[in-house]
Chain A
Amino acid sequence: MTGISFSRRSVIVVGGAALATGATGLLVPARAKGVAPTPSMRGGSNNYRPGAPIVDRIGGGGFWMTGSVRRAGEGAPLPGQRIQIWAHTTEGHERDPQSHGATLTDANGEFRLEMPQIVPAFGQPHGHLAYDSGEFQTVFLRPIMASSKDKTLAAHFVLQPA
């Protein structure tokens, strides 16, 4: 076995290169080749009601909440994950039970739930989404619509094991 020989020069060159790369932030081990987990957003869990039922549609519909769920690291899509969704809509306040619903991701780790039109509340048109099923760490998102006239809003989860 030839092995790797460390001459003083090779140690200095390789070590120096590694230090330089590390200093630029490119050599963070967990993220070097992977997808970073999504952190919860500020205010994301406001008016959360645990255990929202899985529904075909929240209320009368007309607006689509879409998104994806992937695993941190390799970024593989996660099918069958339960995502809970709520917002201030034309049919109720965030705190109202009828404003809440849940859906499951499909084989591609994507989800899509029809719900009533989101309207501006507390100064911004925004939605709330939660992953809170236990297998992965809990994440609360609070995406904002670019325009309150939008008919759809997207939010993407990258989860790490609990």
Chain B
Amino acid sequence: MNFTTRKAIPLVLLLLLGSVFYALFAGYTPDETLNRSASYYASQTVQDTGAQNVVTAIIVTYRGLDTLGEVTVLFLTAAIVGLVLAHSKAPKGRSGSGFLPSGELLTTGTRMLVPVILLFGAYVFLNGHLTPGGGFQGGAIVASAMLLMLLSDSAERFSHRLISRIESSAGLTYVILGLLGMLFAGGFLDNRILPLGSFGSILSAGAIPLIYALIGLKVGAEFSSILTSLEATEDSQ
């Protein structure tokens, strides 16, 4: 297949796909009012879950099973990336070769910033039910601290074991919380196993902050695990 056909066929196909999209685009009219799912959430969320952030309530409670799946996606990815890379490690003894040692600026900056970043991450996932943010965002922030540490000194290794313990315990607790919802409240992942508290305060919305904290820890651990696994590949040139 020569150069032009190799590119022309996808182009034609994508133009046709574009026409499908165009039909969707042309046929789309934004709703004037909330549809029935959304209006249920708008009116019932506070009463049901006590969360200020409706999106959080949906993520953690109403569509909690999706979120559990989502966490599992990361868990899987971390496990598989570990698997993929564990079995094709670079030859030993060449660690770090070919890379300049990280500079003074980066090392010092890292020492200074990491605690702040960690704190900010925790803040984001603990306030998920009140303000924009939540476990995933917080977890990602936590993992960015990890990234910084990896960058600052590529020889520094974190205990993979610790990361995996945090990840697993958080996941297990999450699942158990879901089960408790089945036992003591209305259904799997129901947040009302804990008192709803006063609307708008940090200790409100039942188990949502707890779950988001677990998610935050888990996501942070998973990202970190992926990052350390990927980092190990840098040795291989």
Chains A and B are bound partners: no
Chain B interface (Cβ < 8 Å from any Cβ of A): none
Chain A interface (Cβ < 8 Å from any Cβ of B): none
